[in-house]
Amino acid sequence: MKNYNWAIIGTGRIAHTFAQALGGCEDAVLYAVGSRSEDKAKKFADEFGFEKAYGSYRELAEDKNVDIVYIATPMSSHYADVMLCLENGKNVLCEKSVGLSCAQAEEMVAAAKEKGLFFMEAMWMKCRPTYLKAVEWLKSGRIGEPEYIKADFCNLVEYDPDDRLFAPQCGGGALLDLAVYPLTLASDFLGAKPEKIISSAHIGGDGVDLSNSIMLQYEKAYASINSGFEIPNRNNAVISGKNGSILFGDWFFCTSEVTLLDRDGKEIERSVIDNRINGYEYEIEEVHRCLNTGSVESALVPHSSTLAVMRIMDKCRSDWGMRYPDEKS
Ligand SMILES: NC(=O)c1ccc[n+]([C@@H]2O[C@H](COP(=O)([O-])OP(=O)(O)OC[C@H]3O[C@@H](n4cnc5c(N)ncnc54)[C@H](OP(=O)(O)O)[C@@H]3O)[C@@H](O)[C@H]2O)c1
């Protein structure tokens, strides 16, 4: 099994969590970290044991020894960071949401395809064993045809104008940060192209959505989704069909528990799978599987799934009149 030289761009919250997971994966080498600040890069490299610390993203992208770059910057920076890495011949794992718009995501996918490089959205939920168990139950007909999904990702986040979550120039807002998970769930289990998308949002004074509510309507199914920074602890998901339901544990996108219920709500089967490290190891293992087999696209997180969700989010933002400063008109 080959070892891969990993590099991380950005040294914020999720970069720390991800570096911890990388440190526990045998075939991952903690090779390089890139920051806009050399001091931050050095501090991060020292903390986790990375070999190289770069004071710019470009220097990192130009390092010939990097095999794969994990991009952990705000959404507004993803497009430039992904393109920089692809132009320099690097495989890329990019945090969600991969861009501000579907157009940006399509350009990234096209560039990766043209260069024959691996590109995947870091949609870790789709690599987790509990999620895969739910997919297995669904495919084997355990709940019948799925007809209804209710999924929420809401938490209280104190307003901080300096936090990327609230900053339009960083691609802030609950839609791209939170709703991307329940929308991915719905898109996976009910279909990539809903017939109708009905949504509304509470847009804050800074111009990004603080909360939103989205309904996806399909020919014979629908999904009801809420996400936001204004309501505490609503992070559940359930998928129902005529014969039963699949109930995810709290924090559905990263839960270690998923339960199969019959049509009366009685438990039939429960799957509990604890993390080996911190839960991000599954997406790292998926990246390694792809690189080992020379696949440029993950079967667990295919480009089509990423693009389908970006398309739905475009429609929501368009209906809300919410545009990011850097977006072309
Ligand atoms: N998978 C998950 O569970 C998960 C969880 C949280 C977040 N995320 C995703 O990860 C990405 C980063 O989120 P985060 O919460 O880690 O963000 P964060 O704490 O704000 O960190 C982002 C980092 O990006 C760099 N950066 C580049 N341009 C920036 C700018 N204009 N403003 C601020 N920082 C900038 C900074 O690193 P340098 O200063 O070192 O360059 C900063 O530390 C987002 O796409 C988010 O959706 C995923």
CA of 99 from ligand 1 middle (Å) equals: 13
Listing DSSP states for 286-299 in one string gives: HHHHHHHHT-SS-S
Predicted model pTM = 0.98
Q: What is the pLDDT of residue 1?
A: 65
Residue 238: C-alpha distances to residues 126, 149, 218, 299 (Å): 16, 6, 17, 24
First to last CA, the chain: 47
User: Tens of pLDDT along 18-66?
Assistant: 999 999 999 999 999 999 999 999 999 999 999 999 999 999 999 999 9
Q: What pLDDT shows up at residue 102? A: 97
Check residue 327 and give its pLDDT. 75
pLDDT tens-digit map of 253-305: 999 999 999 999 999 999 999 999 999 999 999 999 999 999 999 999 999 99
Cβ(16) – ligand 1 distance below 6 Å: no
Is the beta carbon of 246 within 6 A of some atom in ligand 1?
Answer: no
Q: Ligand 1: does its nearest atom lie under 6 Å from the Cβ of 315?
A: no
User: What type of residue sits at position 248?
Assistant: F
- Find, among 234, 44, 228, 254, the residue nearest to 129 by Cα: 254
Give residue-wise pLDDT tens across range 112-159. 999 999 999 999 999 999 999 999 999 999 999 999 999 999 999 999
Give the DSSP letter of residue 243.
Answer: T
234 DSSP β-pair partners:
154
**pLDDT tens for residues 169-181?**
999 999 999 999 9
pLDDT band at 252 (very low <50, low <70, confident <90, very high): very high
Strand 146-154 and strand 196-203: the pairing is unpaired
Give distance in angstroms: CA of 34 to centre of ligand 1: 12
**Confidence (pLDDT) at 329:** 52
User: pLDDT, tens digit, for every residue of 223-247?
Assistant: 999 999 999 989 999 999 999 999 9
Q: Counting atoms of ligand 1 from 1, which one is nearest the CA of 15?
A: 16
Is the CB–ligand 1 distance for residue 66 below 6 Å? no
- Of the residues 96, 113, 139, 328, only one is catalytic, namely 96
Question: Can 115 be counted among the known catalytic residues?
Answer: no
Which residues, in sequence order, are bridge partners of residue 247?
238, 259
Q: How far apart are CA 293 and CA 47, in angstroms?
A: 32
Q: Please report how the helices 180-190 and 129-139 are oriented relative to each other, as an axis angle in degrees rounded to 10.
A: 30
Domains and CATH numbers, the chain: 4-122 (3.40.50.720), 125-279+308-320 (3.30.360.10)
Provide the CB-side half-sphere exposure for 159 (13 A, CA).
9
| Per-residue CA distances from 269 to 79, 134, 137, 150 (Å) | 42, 11, 10, 20
Q: Is 273 helix (H, G, I), strand (E, B) or coil?
A: coil
> Would you say the CB of residue 170 lies under 6 angstroms from ligand 1?
yes
- Ligand 1 contact, 138 CB (< 6 A): no
Enumerate residues 6+ apart whose C-beta is below 8 A from 318.
Answer: none
> Which atom of ligand 1 is closest in space to residue 75's alpha carbon?
45
Q: Hey, whose CA ends up nearest to atom 15 of ligand 1? A: 13
Ligand 1 pocket: which of 95, 120, 253 to mutate (most atoms within 8 A of CB): 95
